[in-house]
Amino acid sequence: MTRRIESGDQSAVGDDSPSVSDSPSVSDSPTVSDTRSESVSGRQPESLSGNHSESGDHSESGDHSELRDQPLSGDEPVDRHARSARSFDGAAEIYDASRPDYPAEAVAWMLPEGARRVLDLGAGTGKLTKALADRGLDVVAVDPSPQMLDVLARRAPGVRPVVAGAEDLPLDDASVDVVTVAQAWHWVDPIAASAEAARVLVPGGTLSLVWNIRDEGVEWLRRFGEIAGSERSFRDLGEDPVVGAQFGAFERAAFPWSRSMTREQVLDLVRSRSWFLTADEQRRREMIRDISRLVDDASSDGTVQMAYVTEVFRTRTAH
């Protein structure tokens, strides 16, 4: 069960999920520009953004708090950030199997009333993409990793996967109603990515950012963070994500929820994180050992409750 906690003016965008039958029809699907797009089997860009020069990512929300993964802090070397971003390529299957989905209420809250055409940016293996497609929406999924998009294509076969970075989107101007970004905004250059998102959105279109964040108010998860990397959310930091001047003020909502996980599932979650994938072998062994002990101590029936807060931020283009 989830419970929504909201702040800010919520009147601008309806809370209900769009009904396919009731929503106004849109004749044009999002158009992918042939001259700028790459197939899933195309070359591998170096990072999600393609440009991680002091991008302005400012907080450590964790794996983009499961935030994909740890956002760039102000003093983190650029090469380390880019290396972390590329680390997911070899772990696409375990990433897909271990990462959490998004509560239906949170997905509904991300979508403006009547939205039909969606760009899922930094789509990864399609955790959010499939939820969008299952609502009958016309979705284009963009990610720089062909390996991730290969998994997405199996998960959501009706979605068009496109290999591209956030700062150079292969879509036409004003071609989508909403841009969604799940566990990925901290990996991009937010100013350049904002300009591109605003370009492909219709006037008044919506940019929705979402992160699943472990609730470290739970004692065993606080200890988990001490062992394998803590998560600090934007809400905890009292900050909003950075976006360009093309967008207005954020509306915010939070959805607490949990899922039951076995020890091996928790360990797979650890194995899917950038700070594990980029660690040396000794540090990896230590993490697996310590997390295994922690889960065994916290479990009474072979499972633990992994508590999350799904944080959603939505804003509209200012014009």
The total number of structural domains in the chain stands at 1
In sequence order, what are the beta bridge partners of 143?
Answer: 163
pLDDT tens by residue, 247-273: 999 999 999 999 999 999 999 989 877
In sequence order, what are the beta bridge partners of 214?
Answer: 308
- Angle 78-81-82 from CA coordinates, rounded to 5°: 85
> Which pLDDT band holds residue 236 (cuts at 50, 70, 90)?
low
pLDDT at 43: 30
pLDDT tens by residue, 41-53: 333 333 333 332 2
Question: Residue 216: which residues within 8 A CB-CB, separation 6 or more?
Answer: 222, 224, 225, 230, 231
Can you give the CATH number for the domain in which 133 is found? Answer: 3.40.50.150
Taking 60 as the threshold, does the pLDDT of residue 76 lie above it?
no
Q: ω before 69 within 30° of 0 (cis)?
A: yes
Q: Which two tokens stand for residue 39?
A: 């197939």
Looking at per-residue confidence, does 145 or 66 come out higher?
145
pLDDT tens by residue, 106-155: 999 999 999 999 999 999 999 999 999 999 999 999 999 999 999 999 99
Angle at which helix 281-298 crosses helix 263-271, to 10 degrees, equals 150
Residue 118 to residue 26: CA distance in whole angstroms: 12
Domain span at residue 212 reads 5-316
CB-neighbour burial class of residue 38 (10 A; exposed 0-12, middle 13-18, buried 19+): middle
315: nearest Cα among 230, 228, 253, 238: 253
pTM: 0.74
- Angle 161-165-170 from CA coordinates, rounded to 5°: 60
> Which pLDDT band holds residue 279 (cuts at 50, 70, 90)?
confident
pLDDT tens by residue, 209-223: 999 999 999 999 999
Question: Residue 48: which residues within 8 A CB-CB, separation 6 or more?
Answer: 85, 122, 143, 144, 165, 166, 184, 187, 188
